[in-house]
Amino acid sequence: MASKNEIILGIDPGFGRVGFGVIEKTKKNEWQYLTYGCITTNAKDKFVDRLEEIYEAINFLIKKYKPGRMAVEELFFTKNVTTGIEVGQARGVILLAGAQAKLLIDEFTPPQIKQAITGYGRADKPQMQKMVATILGIKEKIKSDDAADALAVALCAGQSLWHKNTK
């Protein structure tokens, strides 16, 4: 059951850019954002160094915000297999950081996330960004698609908790 101060770290995995969003349940049983943004790695760095940078940044977020749960988007396979493998490796590093911190970890597919946020599993990016901003009361446009996606992943986990607790 979600506690009064439930905090969820949402992750949109990547290796060039990792979107993150941290949300917290308020006393009014609503979600508010604590922070969001992107972890960006330099394409000129060795891949293993980029993975280490992602790992360290995720650990920093976990230590700073103390989430009880991490929600990570599952991979959506594209035509570029090499990119998919590299994103998969970055995703593994992210999941490892969460597991080592003893977080509960939820994984959601893109259609599951879209369904939870908009009620339509094939919603487009602008629809998703608008709903995420509306739900969290964010007035300005979320500049990074990756950060908006990470907030959506966190909200999907929050919705999932609500559904589990109402059954």
Q: Can 146 be counted among the known catalytic residues? A: yes
Q: Distance (Å, rounded) from C-alpha 106 to C-alpha 72?
A: 6
- Structure tokens, 91: 């995703």
Q: From the candidates 6, 73, 106, 149, give the one annotated as an active-site residue.
A: 73
| Angle of the 125-136 helix axis to the 110-118 helix axis, nearest 10 | 50
Q: From the candidates 6, 12, 53, 106, give the one annotated as an active-site residue.
A: 12
b/e per residue 68-105 (b: at least 16 CB within 10 A): ebbbbbeeeeeeeeeeeebbebbbebbbebbeebebeb
Residue 116: which of 101, 105, 128 has the closest Cα?
Answer: 128
CB atoms near residue 110 (< 10 Å): 19
**Chain-centroid distance, C-alpha 67:** 12
Could you tell me if 75 and 87 are in contact, meaning their C-beta atoms sit under 8 angstroms apart? yes
Q: Can 73 be counted among the known catalytic residues? A: yes
Q: From the candidates 24, 53, 106, 146, give the one annotated as an active-site residue.
A: 146
Phi/psi at 113 (nearest 5 deg)? -65, -45
- Catalytic positions, please? 12, 73, 146
